[in-house]
Amino acid sequence: MRRRACGFVLAVAVLCRGFGAASPEQSLREAARRSGMLIGAAVRPEQLSEAAYASTLAREFNMVEPEDALKWEVVHPERESFDFSPGDQVVDFASRHDMKVRGHTLVWHRQNPKWLTEGNYTSGELAEILEKHIKAVVGHYRGKIFAWDVVNEAFDELRPGELRHTIWRDQPGIGAVGGGVAAGYEPRTSSNPARPELAARSSQQPYFYIERCFRWAHEADPQALLFYNDAEAEAVNPKSDAIYAMVRDFRERGVPIDGVGFQMHIAKLHADIASISANIQRFTALGVQVHITELDVALPVDAEHNSRPEDLQSQADIYAQIAAACLSHRLSHSGCTAIQTWGFTDKYSWIGSHSKQTEGAALLFDRTYRTKPAYLRLRNALVLD
């Protein structure tokens, strides 16, 4: 009797597999493993002691990324001191549960300590501070963090295609502001012997400071994969055009860049999937990997955090379509190799405070760790036919 029941279960499992659906007992990480994909979540170390948080994370994901724990204000609170303990908690958790760790982020215009932003440093001091920071943080996690968001959100939303004004860009800046040559810069030879003229190009680029960050990170851990990460650049648009031009230039000149992260914070239940797919295609054709780094799909919610059933279905469609777009480029060139959500339970998500509690419910698990429609649709999309 038991043997017959097993045979029936097996037949259903085979059928499900045949139609590209995950069998019920599969986790996201099991589905991702079968496709050779990474499935990740941003995490908060202070929540790791919560049993449901920790067990869901370990069961469902094969990659984690500290949501805030490696940002300057946490990891580098004083000019002469670093605090790696929150980041170490995440890395230790990952190691115990056989998960990879992405590092976020070495350079960003937000969540920086006052000693840095109000220090009125000279260009030379600023360059020295940045080099020391990158080498200390990447060096501390050498061999433990496999991929870094080296620079995050350097391009401006409001001035399409242009770099955002930040202390690194222009205050006083360690980059080439207005075409000038940055302080402390030693011209490099081109890493492309056939095109020696490329060597002169680097210090003329407005994103010259970004190049320096990638080179410093590479010196600190030559094995780590180095990513440029940005928001609202997932589709083909002026921002992603500018990032594309920068990455193409980096690849031509041998600047050590391995990938591009598209955040994908989806608002208003709108995602242009065809354009996202075309964008992933053109970046992977440059020979870099694509990671989806901060996926969430915000929904309108009432005062009790409830969302509408039809919105949950639309949200599930978007999760599935984005995963399918990534997987369709999984084997092309360097490929779209990772899908990561920005948190995983609606209990802990930046969307609520960001939207003054008018939006939320953006993730795969509800506030009590029950799976949502988006979970099942994403899991099915992760299983390749």
Q: What is the largest CA-CA distance in the chain?
A: 81
Among the listed residues 65, 68, 211, 221, the single contact to ligand G3I using CB under 6 A: 68
x/- mask, ligand G3I, residues 300-339, rule CB under 6 A, reads: ----------------------------------------
Q: Which of 216, 307, 231, 235 is nearest to 274 (CA)?
A: 235
CB of 75 to ligand G3I, least distance (A): 12
> Which one of 30, 211, 234, 294 is the catalytic residue?
294
| Angstrom distance (rounded) from CA 208 to CA 202 | 6
Quick count: other Cβ atoms within 10 Å of Cβ 385? 7
Between the alpha carbon of residue 36 and those of residues 14, 95, 202, 286, 318, the distances in Å are 20, 19, 36, 21, 22
Residue 350 lies near ligand G3I (rule: CB under 6 A) = yes
CB of 355 to ligand G3I, least distance (A): 11
| Angstrom distance (rounded) from CA 147 to CA 136 | 16
Task: Give 16 or 267: the residue with its C-beta nearer to ligand G3I.
Answer: 267
| Angstrom distance (rounded) from CA 251 to CA 249 | 5
Q: How many residues bind ligand G3I (CB under 6 A)?
A: 9
> Which one of 30, 153, 211, 234 is the catalytic residue?
153
The total number of residues written for the chain in this structure: 385
CB of 41 to ligand G3I, least distance (A): 12
Residue 67 lies near ligand G3I (rule: CB under 6 A) = yes
CB of 360 to ligand G3I, least distance (A): 13
Catalytic residue list contains 294? yes
Task: Give 229 or 380: the residue with its C-beta nearer to ligand G3I.
Answer: 229
CB of 168 to ligand G3I, least distance (A): 16
x/- mask, ligand G3I, residues 94-133, rule CB under 6 A, reads: ----------------xx----------------------
Q: Minimal CB distance to ligand G3I: which residue?
A: 350
The count of C-alpha atoms lying within 13 angstroms of the C-alpha of 46, restricted to the half-sphere facing its C-beta, is 5
Catalytic residue list contains 359? no
| Angstrom distance (rounded) from CA 244 to CA 281 | 11
317 in the Ramachandran plot: left (φ > 0), alpha (ψ -120 to 50) or beta?
Answer: alpha
Residues 11-30 that bind ligand G3I (CB under 6 A): none
Tokens of residue 92, six digits: 């230790």
Among the listed residues 231, 269, 324, 384, the single contact to ligand G3I using CB under 6 A: 231
CB of 381 to ligand G3I, least distance (A): 23
Hey, is 81 helix, strand or coil? Answer: strand
Residues 135-174 that bind ligand G3I (CB under 6 A): 152
| Angstrom distance (rounded) from CA 314 to CA 298 | 11
Is the CA virtual torsion 72, 141, 138, 132 positive or negative?
positive
Binding site for ligand G3I (CB under 6 A): 67-68, 110-111, 152, 231, 263, 294, 350
- Residues designated as active site: 153, 294
